Amino acid sequence: MDKDAVVARAKDYIAKEKDAHFRAEVEQLLSKVNNNSPEDLKELEDRFYRNLEFGTGGLRGVIGGGGNRMNTLVVKSATQGLAAYLIKAFPDKAKAGATEAGKGLSAVIAFDSRHYSVEFAEASALIFAANGIKTYLFSGMRPTPELSFAIRRLGCDTGIVVTASHNPPQYNGYKAYWNDGAQIIAPHDKGIINEVNAVTEIKEMDKNEALAKKLLVIIDREIDEPYQDMVRSRLFRPELIREKAKDVKIVYTPLHGTGAFHVEAVLGSLGLKVITVPEQREGNGDFPTVAFPNPEEAAALDMAIKLGKKENADVVMATDPDADRFGTATNDGRGNFTLITGNQAGGLLADYIFLSLKETGKMPPNPAMVNSIVTTGMQKLVAELYGAKCFECLTGFKWIAAIMAKCEADKSASIVFGTEESYGYLVENEVRDKDGISAAAMMAEMTLYWRSKGKSLLDRLNELYEKCGYWEEMGISKYFQGPQGPSVMQGIMDEYRKNHPKTLGGIEVVRIRDIKNGADGLPPSDVLQFYLKDGTVVSARPSGTEPKIKFYASCCTGVGSGGLAAAREEAGRKLEAIKKDIRRVIGD
């Protein structure tokens, strides 16, 4: 992109952006570029070589001025496009709303602790209001799963949560939801993207006017309390918790995000002792105590584990900033804590849910769970232990929600659990996205249940390995920043498609599943899967929310005469060899 084109885009942005801070950022860069600063020209180009794309999940990017950044102008354009699509999708409701209060279109908006989350959420609410869409806005930060719950409870047509989930502090984002409480999928995703790209004029309304006209309604307790009641209602053994609550001590961290309010309230109301890491309890968009506010990262739990050791806690729990992801570590009985991976926690929760439904006589007809195609194969075997099915879907909870909706509609199965390897779990039907709050409550009950049987979570996990084989997973990610990043990632995927590896880690590839044009009933997605002779599955996919390519390997070894120790050693050797082969292609 030449200098004149970059400068022209920057000037156009300055003319449209009403936020003084973001406008000043670009003005200062432009001034330096005019003084022939090559480094500042490079920075300006990165901000304007493309517009931040409104993808199938919404927006996510670095906060700052420019078309390729998260700022008020980009957020307003996205919301105006979403509003325009809603009006076209529901013309009768749009028309009714203009003549009869309470009959028109409606939306609900939540936000997390990140920088500019409040401003982006309010700006979106006032654009909806200007388009005649009644908007419920939470009074303070709330988790993503509560936003999904609120859409369904309030009967809204759409919802937005302003968050960048587990990304570093310089990021923010914007997730869009449909009236079923799930993130948007076809055909609405492409329709909304087209409307966003076509925006030429943004309608806005003054906040006081929106409040006076009841087009903006501030909410909190009327959703908070029913949501907490719902989380408690999904537990199986409230009487066990009441009797044995003092037997389990929990250390918890919200990682400076939205989780503390609900986790403390729900678990505290059950009588469980929850000690929240004080340095990480309050919302803080700088996330000052962690490099990444992501419970998938072992380092993110360092402070919680340190406190867990001091308090001799039974379990350590963490949620990410918007509290949809959940991580945990368990006391090994010797005062040390073992991290439980997303795949392992999903297997334990699946086992506990099916076991509890069976023990309490509440197993529904045609029981089933859902997990993503890059999640461990162990969970399918766990489901089969209870005569249940395990459906597979693409990565992302919107696909789990889609299967839930389909099964509800055709009554083909009763979905009781959804999970994916990236620390996402859904143990209820009232929410249609991963829910770290309800996962924390269920994990607490499960810990207490196995404690009452004289076992730890690790003991139960080892029992499942004995029944299902030892499973171990590995993930590899490589970032490709800048204008060339997408083409580099696409080149890697193209090369794998043209020249399929014959072996990975020295193990023969016996089957390849390419989902680019859809496969096995799955919608099209840029995913390649390599099935190895020993049952290991290796998957490759570019991330849908970050400039990186991701690889997943799921390996199973039998538990023979050498026991679990030998099985772990064998799995480790296989995965290390596979990692070397992948690194040869993508680099370190």
What is the tens place of the pLDDT at every residue in 418-447? 999 999 999 999 999 999 999 999 999 999
What is the tens place of the pLDDT at every residue in 2-21? 899 999 999 999 999 999 99
What value does the mean pLDDT take over residues 483-509?
92
What is the tens place of the pLDDT at every residue in 209-234? 999 999 999 999 999 999 999 999 99
Tokens (6 digits) for 477: 């990610």
What is the tens place of the pLDDT at every residue in 180-201? 999 999 899 999 999 999 999 9
Q: Please check the confidence at residue 69 and state whether its pLDDT lies above 90.
A: yes
Q: What is the pTM of this model?
A: 0.95
With CA atoms as reference, report the closest residue to 320 among 338, 304, 344: 304
Round to whole Å and give the CA distance between 419 and 266: 22
CATH superfamily of 343-467: Alpha-D-Glucose-1,6-Bisphosphate, subunit A, domain 3 (3.40.120.10)
Q: Please check the confidence at residue 57 and state whether its pLDDT lies above 70.
A: yes
Q: Which helix (H) or strand (E) holds 240?
A: helix 238-244
Can 165 be counted among the known catalytic residues? yes
pLDDT-based confidence at residue 335 (cuts at 50, 70, 90): confident
- CATH fold of 56-219 reads Alpha-D-Glucose-1,6-Bisphosphate; Chain A, domain 3 (3.40.120)
Round to whole Å and give the CA distance between 104 and 187: 22
Catalytic residue (one of 113, 165, 456, 539): 165
CATH, domain range 227-337? 3.40.120.10
Q: Please check the confidence at residue 101 and state whether its pLDDT lies above 60.
A: no
What is the tens place of the pLDDT at every residue in 253-263? 999 999 999 99
Residue 198, pLDDT score = 95
Measure Cα distances from 311 to 151, 303, 459 in Å.
39, 12, 22
**What is the CATH architecture assignment of 469-586?**
2-Layer Sandwich (3.30)
Round to whole Å and give the CA distance between 173 and 165: 8
What is the domain partition of the chain in residue ranges? 1-49, 56-219, 227-337, 343-467, 469-586
Judge whether 56-219 and 469-586 match in fold: no
Q: Please check the confidence at residue 102 and state whether its pLDDT lies above 80.
A: no
- Per-residue b or e along 249-287, where b marks 16 or more CB atoms closer than 10 Å to that residue's CB: bbbbbbbbbbbbbbbbbbbeebebbbbbbeebbebbbeb
Residue 587, pLDDT score = 82
- In one letter, which amino acid is 119? E
Residue 299, pLDDT score = 97
Round to whole Å and give the CA distance between 308 and 318: 12
Tokens (6 digits) for 504: 């990975």
With CA atoms as reference, report the closest residue to 18 among 69, 73, 79: 73
Higher pLDDT, 98 or 253: 253
Count of beta carbons in the 10 Å neighbourhood of residue 239: 8
Asked, as a colleague might, if the bond just before 187 is cis with ω within 30 of 0, I would say: yes
What value does the mean pLDDT take over residues 333-344?
94
Query: Contact 68/547 with Cβ under 8 angstroms?
Result: no
Residue 1, pLDDT score = 75
Helix crossing, 221-233 with 260-269: angle to 10°?
50
- Per-residue b or e along 205-217, where b marks 16 or more CB atoms closer than 10 Å to that residue's CB: beeeebeeeebbb
Across the chain, mean pLDDT equals 95
Higher pLDDT, 1 or 163: 163
Q: Please check the confidence at residue 122 and state whether its pLDDT lies above 80.
A: yes
What is the tens place of the pLDDT at every residue in 556-578? 998 887 899 999 999 999 999 99
User: In 314-355, at which residue ranges do the beta strands (DSSP E only) sit?
Assistant: 315-319, 326-331, 337-340
Q: Please check the confidence at residue 110 and state whether its pLDDT lies above 80.
A: yes
Query: Quick one: 244 exposed, middle or buried, by C-beta within 10 A (0-12, 13-18, 19+)?
Result: middle
